[in-house]
Amino acid sequence: MSQQTAEHKSEWPLWEVFIRSKAGLDHKHAGSLHAADAQMAIENARDVYTRRMEGVSIWVVESKYIHTSDPDESASMYEPANDKIYRHPTFYNLPDELKHM
């Protein structure tokens, strides 16, 4: 994902492109591009990111609307999950004879 630092007068806005590679899968971030509006962003995304049938559906969103977590706060941000290993199935000690579980 890109960040636009300054406003550039002649520059079309930046868009983030998400592509669903086939029905049944999530849209995944593919990259970014510049376009004047959403329709043009979708058309450009088709030409830039799906020249080899990489997608069946495209999402575009203007980059300025994306908010991200702060990587410098990762430690405290994800800390609550750290000591909860009992959320994983392997935490439980069960006999080997036990099947289908």
Question: Encoding tokens for residue 22?
Answer: 């086939």
Kindly give, in sequence order, each residue whose CB lies less than 8 Å from that of residue 86, ignoring residues fewer than 6 positions away.
Answer: 92
32: which strand partners? 16
Q: In the range 75-94, which residues lie near another protein by CB under 8 A?
A: none
Site pattern 23..52 for another protein (x: CB under 8 A): --------xxxx-xx--x------xx--xx
- Angstrom distance (rounded) from CA 47 to CA 39: 13
Count residues near another protein (CB under 8 A).
Answer: 26
Question: Within 10 A of 80 (CB to CB), how many other CB atoms are there?
Answer: 8
- Cβ-based nearer residue to another protein, 25 or 29: 29
Smallest distance, another protein to C-beta of residue 82, A = 18
Residue 90 has phi, psi (to 5 degrees) of -70, -10
Residues engaged in binding another protein (CB under 8 A): 1-6, 8, 10-12, 14, 31-34, 36-37, 40, 47-48, 51-52, 68, 70-72
